[in-house]
């Protein structure tokens, strides 16, 4: 299977900005209160390679913007524009359109627009950017129809290079993890975005930069008995448990394997930078979630998972830093709890917090339960339950040029997480989460 090119799958975010616009109402010319720029008549590939302009499973993009505009105005894919007219759409001061078409890369991006007389000569500039990279600034000096052609093959090269390297390393980690689990007869399952990539793309999601697997508690405990011989000192791959961050520092409760042979600019360990160990910085990890039994008693389950989340908050007091500005987009209660728990956590030995955590997460170890929960997962996801019957012996699915284990009923798992999992997500979340530029607060 050939690799899916990032922007062919993700789509391009194209920004069209007009530095000075014309408002007919303010000029006393009409009751039209819009701040008008140029009239955009066409934006898309020189030679489109997609039939139609919309996508059945991706409502957030268009293949091209052309007129007369067919169908409903796509507010997911178009921002700023004032809506369709017979021959185009008037631009506002700032406009964004999301386009997805392999023809954009293969033949080039074409833009056709009209500069009205009222805009010409007032010192306005037209700025065209793709994925935040400025392609051209055009002085709007004369009335008339104009056409521009852009080569976008150099757009996002750094991002594409980073993701290519991330995917290559993640597959090295996943291949070796699969080897070890097969060697000892251990169950594991690809989950979350990694599983979604296997099902929807047949590979890792083009813009994703992590791999998540899950293991039932009994299999994870057996794995712990073999990590030294498989991923011990001096090996290309290091086993890294949550309590091995160095110098009594806390990142989260995740268990990982880390590729140590090669550096890559990832931000995974930045919250212990300057306090914890530094040998793992700028090295790509793979996350291992532990599936512990979830009590069938809802009140008991809520108490247990809230207890774990509280211990997570206490542990955060042992990070290198807490940037409270990162939490300003959270509700007031969350912001207060972060301040309270981290302040208290600083005064409690981390070894005590870890001891409590290990005790609490295993409360249901010897019980017969219908569900699992991810006891070392993302703080908001810890209370989620997953039916044990979904996992079973597992099933192998293709992931690029390899195969990996997935839950037996992977569709039920994906449906719980994503609803219609074959539909693409909004454009603003189609980005790496572990790159240097990404910001994940917890």
Distance from CA of residue 404 to its chain's centroid?
21
Alpha carbons 320 and 250: distance in angstroms, whole number:
8
Q: What digits encode the pLDDT tens for the residues 196-226?
A: 999 999 999 999 999 999 999 999 999 999 9
Q: What is the structure's pLDDT at 432?
A: 92
Two tokens, residue 170: 């993640």
Q: What is the structure's pLDDT at 435?
A: 73
Apex CA 262: angle with CA 258 and CA 265, to 5°? 85
Q: What digits encode the pLDDT tens for the residues 368-407?
A: 999 999 999 988 899 999 999 999 999 999 999 999 999 9
**What 3-state DSSP class applies to 22?**
strand
Q: What is the structure's pLDDT at 440?
A: 43
Helices 410-418, 192-200: inter-axial angle, 10-degree rounding: 110
Classify burial at 430, counting beta carbons within 10 Å of its beta carbon; exposed 0-12, middle 13-18, buried 19 or more. buried
Domain segments of the chain as ranges:
6-155, 158-429
pLDDT block averages, 10 residues each, the chain of length 442: 78 97 92 96 97 95 96 95 95 98 97 96 95 96 97 94 97 98 98 96 95 98 97 94 96 97 94 95 97 97 97 94 69 80 94 98 96 94 96 97 97 95 95 69 38
Two tokens, residue 243: 């309590």
Q: What is the structure's pLDDT at 380?
A: 85
Q: What is the structure's pLDDT at 379?
A: 85
Q: Which residues pair with 40 in a beta bridge?
A: 89, 113
Count Cα atoms within 13 angstroms, Cβ side, for 306: 7
Alpha carbons 285 and 204: distance in angstroms, whole number:
15
Torsions phi, psi for 255 (to 5 deg): -100, 140
Q: What is the structure's pLDDT at 110?
A: 98
Q: What is the structure's pLDDT at 441?
A: 38
Task: Count how many residues are written for the chain.
Answer: 442
CB distance 275 to 257 below 8 Å: no
């Amino acid at each position: 299977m050939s690799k899916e090119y990032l922007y062919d799958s993700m789509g391009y975010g194209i920004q069209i900005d007009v530095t000075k616009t014309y408002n007919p109402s303010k000029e006393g010319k009409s009751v039209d209160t819009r701040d008008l720029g140029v009239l955009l008549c066409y934006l898309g590939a020189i030679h489109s390679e997609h039939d139609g302009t919309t996508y059945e499973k991706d409502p957030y993009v268009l293949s091209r913007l052309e007129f007369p505009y067919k169908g409903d105005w796509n507010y997911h894919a178009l921002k700023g524009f004032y809506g369709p007219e017979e021959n185009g759409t008037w631009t506002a001061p700032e406009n964004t359109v999301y386009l997805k078409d392999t023809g954009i890369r293969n033949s080039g991006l074409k833009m056709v627009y009209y500069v009205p007389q009222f805009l010409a000569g007032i010192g306005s500039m037209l700025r065209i950017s793709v994925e935040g990279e400025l392609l051209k600034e055009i002085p709007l000096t004369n009335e008339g129809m104009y056409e521009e052609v852009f080569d976008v093959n150099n757009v996002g090269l750094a991002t594409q290079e980073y993701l290519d390297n991330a995917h290559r390393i993640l597959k090295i980690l996943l291949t070796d993890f699969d080897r070890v689990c097969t060697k000892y007869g251990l169950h594991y399952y690809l989950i979350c975005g990694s599983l979604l990539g296997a099902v929807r793309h047949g590979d890792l999601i083009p813009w994703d930069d992590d791999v998540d697997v899950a293991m039932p508690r009994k299999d994870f405990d057996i794995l712990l008995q073999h990590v030294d011989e498989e991923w011990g000192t001096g090996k290309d791959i290091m086993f890294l448990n949550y309590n091995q961050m160095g110098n009594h520092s806390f990142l989260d409760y995740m268990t990982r394997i880390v590729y140590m042979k090669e550096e890559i600019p990832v931000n995974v360990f930045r919250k212990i930078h300057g306090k914890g160990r530094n040998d793992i910085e700028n090295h790509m990890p793979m996350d291992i979630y532990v599936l512990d039994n979830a009590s069938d008693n809802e009140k008991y389950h809520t108490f247990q998972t809230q207890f774990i989340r509280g211990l997570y908050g206490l542990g955060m007091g042992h990070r290198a830093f807490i940037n409270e500005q990162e939490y300003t987009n959270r509700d007031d209660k969350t912001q207060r709890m972060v301040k309270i728990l981290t302040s208290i956590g600083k005064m409690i030995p981390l070894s005590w917090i870890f001891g409590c955590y290990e005790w609490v997460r295993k409360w249901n170890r010897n019980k017969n339960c219908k569900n699992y929960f991810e006891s070392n997962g993302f703080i908001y996801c810890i209370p989620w339950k997953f039916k044990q019957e979904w996992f079973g012996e597992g099933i192998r699915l293709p992931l690029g040029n390899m195969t990996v284990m997935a839950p037996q009923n992977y569709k039920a798992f994906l449906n719980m997480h994503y609803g219609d999992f074959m539909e693409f997500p909004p454009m603003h979340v189609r980005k790496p989460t572990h790159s240097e530029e990404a910001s994940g607060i917890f």
